Amino acid sequence: MNEEITLDLRDFFYIIRKRVKMIVGVTVACTLAAGILSFFVIKPTYEAKSTIIVGKPQGNEKNGNVQYNDVMMYQNLVKTYAEIAKSASVSERSAQKLGGSLTSEQLKKITTVTPQQGTQILAITATSKSPEEAVKIVGAVSSTFIEESKRVFPTGGDIQIMDKAKLPEEPIKPKKALNIAIAFFLGLMASVGLTFVLEYMDSTMKTEEDINKYLGLPVIGIIPKNMEQQN
C-alpha cells in the first residue's frame, strides 16, 4: 500500500513538473490581469459617512429611571427615523439640493441608512467615484432628513448631526491587494486543474517512463530528436 501511495505522489509531481511552464504562465497572466484592472481600469469608489443621534427633546428633565426608559424608546424610534431617511421625499429633496446632478432613484442606490444596533445613532453613507461628491451627497441627505423628520414627526426626539462627513482619503474599492491575491490563487488552481485535464486526455507516450509505466516493456533504444544528416 505504501508503494502505491509513493507512485501516486510521483505521478502527481511528474505531471506538475511536465507542465510547470503552463502553470506559471497562466498564474502570472491572471495575476497581471487583476493588477492591471485594479490599478488602471476600474475606477476607485469612495465612501463618505455621517452619523446622526436621536435624543430626547431639550428641556425635558426627568428622573433617572424615566431617562433610562427614554433611551430605550429613542433606540426603537431610530428604526422609524431610518425609514424616513429612506423615503422618496428625502431623496427627491436631496436631489434638488444637489442641483439635479443625480435623480432620486440614483440617489437611493448610492446611499445607505443604517441604524446602529443598541444605540440612538443613525449612520448615513454614500458612495461615489469622486470623494468630494460623496461628501456633498451625505451632507445633502443628512440635512434633508433632519428637516423632513421635524416636519412629518414633530413630536419625536431631538435629531442632531453628531459627526459630519469627512473627505475620504482612500477608496473602499477596488481592493487591489485582495483582487491580486484572489487572481493568483484562481489562476494557480485553474492551471493545475487544466494540467490534469490535458494529461488525462493525452494518450500518447513521450518518454521511456511512459513505456515502462503503461506497457511494462523495457526500453531497448531511443531515437534522438535531432539526428545529423549523413551525406
Q: Cell numbers for 3, please give them.
A: 508503494
Please compute the mean of the pLDDT values over residues 139-154 and round it to a whole number: 92
Name the nearest CA neighbour of 158 among 148, 166, 149, 167: 149
- Mean pLDDT of the 179-185 span: 96
Inter-residue contact 178 to 34 (CB < 8 Å):
no
User: What is the value of pTM for the model shown?
Assistant: 0.74
Kindly calculate the radius of gyration of the chain based on its CA atoms and give it in whole angstroms.
33
The model's confidence at residue 1, banded by pLDDT at 50, 70 and 90, is very low
Closest CA to 115 of 161, 78, 152, 72: 78
- Say if residue 64's pLDDT is above 60: no
Q: What is the pLDDT of residues 87-123, one digit of tens each?
A: 999 999 999 999 988 999 999 999 999 998 888 899 9
Q: Minimum mean pLDDT among 5-14, 43-52, 55-64, 137-146: which range?
A: 55-64
Domains of the chain: 10-41+174-207 (no CATH), 46-163 (3.30.70.1130)
Q: CA 56 to CA 157: how far, in whole Å?
A: 5
If pLDDT is split at 50, 70 and 90, which confidence band does 223 have? low
